[in-house]
Amino acid sequence: MAHPISALLAGAALSLASTAAFAQMTLTSTDIAEDEMMSADQEFDGFGCAGANLAPALSWSGAPAGTNSYIVMAYDPDAPTGSGFWHWAAFNIPADVTSLPTGVGTDGVPLPDGMVEARNDYSQNAFGGACPPEGHGVHHYIFTVYAMPQDALPLDETASSAVIGFMAHTTSLDHATLTALYER
């Protein structure tokens, strides 16, 4: 029988190896940049904000073998809600799609076939831009793409972002994140 500490160390080594595997995917954008302020193009149009409310262009690469679909999510952990704020949850993005254009899901910029946008915390099935309270300081907008082993999640557009996040965190093969900033 293995010593409990040996088992613990083996588990930690496996965890570190898994973490190293997660460093393979990359997420980039021509509209937003890591630790840089977003423009008003990504600001919400409502709740006292008057931006263009356009999803940023996103491109990803390095997904592992076995990827059959993607999830893209945007989350603000700094929102004064007690639980953060989900700005976007899109799933069932086909495996051959590795980028989304600026404003995807708006008039004239259709979603890729099969992609579903779930309800965000603005109660819309769409991207919802940044709109932090005035004077609240800098907010972090975490955009994440998840490589999924399933062709499609068994969910529809009524799914909450939290449920989609649960699916992403518990079954994804890999993920990549880009964190942009915004302040009013």
pLDDT digits (tens, 9 = 90+) for 117-143: 999 999 999 999 999 999 999 999 999
Q: Is it the case that residue 12 has pLDDT exceeding 70?
A: no
173 closest CA partner among 140, 149, 150, 138: 149
Cβ neighbours for 4, distance < 8 A, ≥ 6 positions apart: none
Residue 118 lies in a domain: yes
Q: What is the predicted pLDDT for the residue at 165?
A: 96
Bridge partners of 89, per DSSP, are 73
Quote the domain boundaries for residue 126: 24-182
Residue 3 lies in a domain: no
In angstroms, rounded to a whole number, what is the distance separating the alpha carbons of residues 148 and 171?
A: 7
Residue 51 lies in a domain: yes
Classify strands 45-46 and 69-76 as parallel, antiparallel or unpaired: unpaired
Residue 61 lies in a domain: yes
Q: Is 47:80 a contact under the CB 8 Å cutoff?
A: no
Q: What is the predicted pLDDT for the residue at 18?
A: 46
Residue 8 lies in a domain: no
Q: Is 151:71 a contact under the CB 8 Å cutoff?
A: no
H helices, E strands: number in the chain = 2, 10
Q: What is the predicted pLDDT for the residue at 75?
A: 98
- State CA 122 to chain mean position distance: 16
Residue 142 lies in a domain: yes
User: In this structure, what CATH number is given to the domain that contains residue 85?
Assistant: 3.90.280.10
For the chain, what is the mean pLDDT? 90
Residue 71 lies in a domain: yes
Lowest mean pLDDT among 7-11, 18-22, 29-33, 165-169: 7-11
Q: What is the predicted pLDDT for the residue at 54?
A: 98
Sorting pLDDT into bands at 50, 70 and 90, what band is 15? Answer: very low
Q: Is it the case that residue 16 has pLDDT exceeding 60?
A: no
Give me the number of domains the chain comprises. Answer: 1
